[in-house]
Amino acid sequence: MLEIKDLHAVINGKEILKGINLTVRPGEIHALMGQNGAGKSTLSNVLVGNPAYEVTQGSVLFNGKDLLAMKPEERAHEGLFLSFQQPVEIPGVSMVNFMRAALNAKRKYQGLEPMNAGDFLKLMREKRKIVELDSKLANRSVNEGFSGGEKKRNEIFQMAMLEPTLSILDETDSGLDVDALRIVAEGFNKLRTPQTSALVITHYQRLLDYLKPDVVHVLLGGRIVKTGGPELALEIENKGFDWIKAETESLQGI
């Protein structure tokens, strides 16, 4: 589904990604761990086409198509979704209007007519239950005045509405209390199908306890330096990253 090969990217002239190789197959959940500055968020931004980042080398195939050649909105229409680390507020634009524009843009891309208002509102009602978002939030402006936890729930709600095939969760667990984390994680799990995959960026095991990743990667200095099963995340939880750093350095002969 996703095939990243030798991906290099820069922001403000500084190279952050230095050759990422990663393959995600349908139904798989990959966890991406690593210290701050390792390039995790850069990778997610590059994948969704944030114009602030520049790809200097490498390729990304998404369902066989050249992802890097697509505009951000096309990537979304093709089934890519990012749950933002810090969702931005858009004052004055109601969630209803926002989601309607998003959903209908996708339908247009698929050659479908816009969804009628009644069906749309019904769909909103169904989907917001998944993350226990109440109707008041759904009628408010996009993320405006939402608490940190509400913003993250709102991200998963949007994911439920747009039904992506590959979701990137960029520190969706940050700033969540135990209950909010459970709601978000369980909401995410309800949306899983054998065809949908996810790339989960996190610092903590507690989110992975819910999501149960198939593969865990460790990012260091813009490269994936270690890949393992779920047990790797547990090991990091106990021992931190330093041992991986040491291991990598000895392998590289530094």
Partner 1 sequence: MEDKNKFVKEVAEKKYEYGFTSDIQTEIIEKGLNEDVVRLISSKKEEPEWLLEFRLKAFRYWQTQEQPEWGHLKMPEIDYQAISYYADPTKGNKKDGSKSLDDIDPELMKTFDKLGIPLEERLALSGTAVDAVLDSVSVKTTFKEKLSERGIIFCSISEAVREYPDLVRQYIGSVVPYRDNYFAALNSAVFSDGSFVYIPKGVRCPMELSTYFRINARNTGQFERTLIVCDDGGYVSYLEGCTAPMRDENQLHAAIVEIVVGANAEVKYSTVQNWYPGDAEGKGGVLNLVTKRGHLRGANSKLSWTQVETGSAITWKYPSCILSGENSQAEFYSVAVTNNYQQADTGTKMIHLGRNTRSTIISKGISAGKSQNSYRGLVRVAPSAEGARNYSSCDSLLLGSTCGAHTFPYMDIHNDSAIVEHEATTSKISEEQLFYCNQRGIPTEEAVGLIVNGYAKDVINKLPMEFAVEAQKLLSVSLEGTVG
Q: Which of residues 208-237 bind partner 1 (CB under 8 A)?
A: none
Which one, 188 or 241, has the nearer CB to partner 1? Answer: 188
| Cα(73)–Cα(16) distance, integer angstroms | 24
Say if CB 82 and CB 168 are below 8 A apart.
Answer: yes
Per CB under 8 A, contacts with partner 1 among 75-134 are 75-77, 81-82, 84, 87-88, 90-94, 97-98, 101-103, 105-106, 109
**Exposed e or buried b for every residue in 208-222, given b needs 16+ CB within 10 A?**
beebebbbbbbbbeb
Using CB under 8 A as the criterion, what x/- string covers residues 131-170 for binding partner 1? ----------xx---------------x---x--------
Query: Does residue 95 come out as left (phi exceeding 0), alpha (psi in the -120 to 50 range) or beta?
Result: alpha
> Where do runs of H (alpha helix) occur along 21-169?
40-48, 72-77, 95-109, 117-130, 135-139, 148-162
Q: What is the DSSP string of 44-59?
A: HHHHHT-TTSEEEEEE
Inter-residue contact 233 to 213 (CB < 8 Å): yes
Residue 66 lies near partner 1 (rule: CB under 8 A):
no
Binding of partner 1 at residue 73 (CB under 8 A)? yes
Unique residue bearing structure tokens 């195939």: 61
Instruction: Report d(CA 44, CA 49) in Å as an integer.
Output: 9
Which C-beta is closer to partner 1: that of 163 or that of 247? 163
Please, which residue, 10 or 105, has the CB nearer to partner 1?
105
**CB of 78 or CB of 247, closer to partner 1:** 78
In the complex, the smallest distance separating the C-beta of residue 211 from partner 1, rounded to whole angstroms, is 21
Q: What is the closest distance, in whole angstroms, from the C-beta atom of residue 191 to partner 1 in the complex?
A: 16
63 belongs to the binding site for partner 1 (CB under 8 A): no
Residue among 35, 50, 63, 174 that touches partner 1 (CB under 8 A)? 50
What residues have CB less than 8 Å from 51, skipping those under 6 apart? Answer: 72
Q: Can you tell me the distance from the alpha carbon of 130 to that of 153, in angstroms, rounded to the nearest whole number?
A: 9
**165 to 184, contacts with partner 1 by CB under 8 A?**
none
Nearer to partner 1, 137 or 232 (CB): 137
Q: How far is the CB of 91 from partner 1 (least distance, A)?
A: 7
Task: Point out which residues bind partner 1 (CB under 8 A).
Answer: 48-52, 71-73, 75-77, 81-82, 84, 87-88, 90-94, 97-98, 101-103, 105-106, 109, 141-142, 158, 162
